[in-house]
Amino acid sequence: MCGIVGIVERDLARPVPPGAVERMVQTLHHRGPDEEGAINIPGVALAMRRLAIVDLAGGQQPLSNEDGTIHMVANGEIYNFESVKQELIAKGHRFRSRVDVEVIVHGYEEWGPQFLSRLKGMFALAVWDSRTKTLLAARDRAGEKPLYYATTPEGLLLGSEIKAILARPDVDRTLDLEALDQFLTYEYVIAPRTIFSSIRKLPPAHYLLYRDNQVSVHRYWDAADVRVREWSDEHAADALREALGRAVNSQMMADVPVGVFLSGGIDSSTIAVLMQKETAGERVRSFSMGFDDGSYNELPYAREIAALCGTQHIEGTVTPDVHELFDRLVVHLDEPFADVSLFPTFMVSQMAREHVKVVLSGDGGDELFGGYDAYEAQALAAKWGSLAPGSAVRAMDTLLEAVPPTAKKKGLVNKTRRFVAGLAGAPADIEHYRWMTFLSSDAKRRLYTRRFQDALITSDVYEPVRSALRRAGGDDLLNRQLYADLCIYLADDILVKVDRMSMATSLETRAPFLDVDVMELAFSMPGHLKIRDGERKFVLKQALRGRVPDTILKRKKEGFSIPMKNWLRKELAPLMESLLSEERVNVRGLMEPGEVRKLMDQHKTGRANHAHVLFSLMVFERWAQAFLE
């Protein structure tokens, strides 16, 4: 696990400025505190910070091929490197280390960009080919590892995080207002955009080529290409159990101890059970984070699985006193990001890092097997659609706005309000994303200033969702929605949060559900194997019968969230008032101060729950102070 950076000068005869790549890579010390490496040749510099996991003594980067014509830096792990390595050795390649990522430089030398399809792992990489004067950069299929790039008058810049690119003074910091609209709609920015107009994020399963001062981006894998086929329930469950077992086994590859994030839900419980099976009696360390608020606390379920597996279980509690963390993490993230579970994710990572360097997680299970409320909401909406005209839905939404939300995490009142608001406030053709967006068009007309609205007149904030749904194609409606979530919500929210918050503590996280064999197996299964008669993750539960307690398998999906709506009324209210004061809102010139005040007043008095919008506005203001002023 590392952080990587790269510079390619427009004029390859011009040396990279002294200290330039070093300043970039030093911003990524948290991603790799163990050592630093760099190579600087005419017109090109590559560098990395290393978190040593495999071949602790001999795995330094950058790595080069035998004749020194190809150079590489990489972030992540290649789980099938041994088989790829043996194939390359048979073709005459000579390896100098045991480190997994050395297969990248020889694989590129042997097969060119097509080598990417042979890799199973999580990675971001950059390869410089001095023979063709070409830089290739790529990300793994699901997008577990990040990679950003920017073109400037001087050339191309690459970095694992935006902060590395911003270390160069020639990078323009102009705000991308369409990206800001995405953030306020979804709580994150969707690739390839970033909040900066001049910086782009390479999408998952894509590679970039930079040659003759031109950038081209290409897709090398797509879950939409997987053909759905018929399965019996038993055959599907057996195949899934075996594939997950192989994924867990391969992802426990390390020369350091490996632990597991354990929420007590189905996905993390699956990983914990399979890990314990692979350890031959050695105790796995498990890590959980809970809350004093009972409706948010899942620690009892985590303890149940920990006891079943015999893990060495360690847990902590998230408290409302997150002022210092708010300031630290919002700035660390480099661009606005408002998924409130970033706080417990950071805290459980910080706790785990005291004991291990690597953890496995259950990320990806919901997007592959239908774990979210939004899928059921869409199914219900499809049945309702012909019975309730739009005017009736809007009238019901207005009526429910007068019903105060409860302090609970979900509950009947809150779920009903959210369901109807999604029906009334978002277009039907974004399907389940009606319940995964947080600012309707009507709300934007009240909140956004005329300047902001005018800047968005030709943009469509929902187009990335529509595009993903179209690309999935086919007649399987659930698989289409799962595909959109794999490409957008998982890649740009969940995996961004997990990568940045764990790497902020120098902890590597791995997700066995995102093994390519598991993903392709999941998308070969029809939707009725994933949600059947309202039961979510049907096939995953079938695969786990007798291995995970029924009390866990029958639990409803809770989600890794925090009581932010309650904290904004009490402990965090002063921070909210400070960040969203009329003076600060006026300085930005993007939001209407009167509407922001109205949202705060309604929220603090309990008349409405505006936590998603208010927290997003708080994040944007603090980010803007750090990056725009």
Show the DSSP H helices in 439-563 as ranges: 441-447, 450-455, 463-472, 477-485, 495-503, 516-523, 538-544, 550-553
| Rounded average pLDDT over 294-305 | 77
Angle at Cα 466 formed by Cα 218 and Cα 240, nearest 5°? 70
> What is the four-CA torsion angle of 468, 471, 476, 481, rounded to 10 degrees?
-10
Strand 358-360, strand 258-261: pairing: parallel
The answer to whether 71 and 105 are in contact (CB under 8 A) is yes
Q: Which residues face 360 on adjacent strands?
A: 260, 510
Q: Which pLDDT score, from 0 to 100, does residue 282 have?
A: 73
Residue 257, sorted as left (phi over 0), alpha (psi -120 to 50) or beta, turns out to be: beta
Mean pLDDT of 45-63: 80
pLDDT at 35: 84
Residue 551 has pLDDT above 90, yes or no: no
Strands ordered across the beta sheet of 199-201: 35-41, 44-50, 2-9, 155-159, 148-152, 199-201
Q: Looking at the predicted structure, is the pLDDT value of residue 201 above 90?
A: yes
Q: Which of 295-299, 345-349, 510-514, 532-536 has the lowest mean pLDDT?
A: 295-299
Q: Which of the four pLDDT bands, split at 50, 70 and 90, describes residue 106?
A: very high
Q: Are 272 and 311 spatial neighbours (Cβ–Cβ below 8 Å)?
A: yes
Q: Work out the average pLDDT over 44-64.
A: 81
The candidate with the shortest Cα–Cα distance to 330, out of 342, 348, 317, is 342
- Residue range 30-46: average pLDDT? 92
Residue 264's pLDDT is 82
Query: How many residues in total does the chain contain?
Result: 629
- Highest-confidence range of 15-19, 380-384, 412-416, by mean pLDDT? 15-19
Q: Which domains does the chain have, with CATH numbers?
A: 2-221 (3.60.20.10), 225-318+335-370+478-553 (3.40.50.620), 563-629 (no CATH)
Statement: residue 207 has pLDDT above 70: yes
Mean pLDDT of 219-233: 97
Q: What is the pLDDT of residues 520-537, one digit of tens each?
A: 999 999 999 999 998 999
Q: How far is the C-alpha of 286 from the C-alpha of 313, rounded, in Å?
A: 5
**pLDDT of residue 611 exceeding 80:** yes
Mean pLDDT of 481-487: 98
Local confidence band at 71 (pLDDT 50, 70, 90 cut-offs): very high
Whole-number mean pLDDT of the chain?
A: 91
pLDDT confidence of 412, banded at 50, 70, 90?
Answer: low
Q: Determine the average pLDDT of the residues in 236-258.
A: 93
Tokens of 151: 């073109």
Q: Work out whether strand 199-201 and strand 155-159 pair parallel, antiparallel, or are unpaired.
A: unpaired
**How confident is the model at residue 398, as a pLDDT?**
58
Would the pLDDT of 411 be above 80?
Answer: no
Residue scoring higher pLDDT (256 or 219): 219
Q: What is the pLDDT of residues 415-425, one digit of tens each?
A: 766 776 666 67
- 561 or 85, which is more confident: 85
Q: What is the model's pLDDT at position 254?
A: 82
Asked whether residue 245 carries a pLDDT value surpassing 60, the answer given is yes
Nearest of 267, 44, 10, 222 to residue 117 by alpha carbon: 222
Residue 455 has pLDDT above 60, yes or no: yes
What share of the chain in percent tops pLDDT 90? 74
Predicted pLDDT at 197: 97
Average pLDDT over residues 106-116: 97
Residue 389 has pLDDT above 60, yes or no: no
- Can you give the pLDDT at residue 124? 97
Examine the pLDDT at 332 and tell me if it is beyond 90.
yes
Residues 6+ apart with CB under 8 A from 86: none
Mean per-residue pLDDT, 546-568: 79
Which residues are designated catalytic?
2
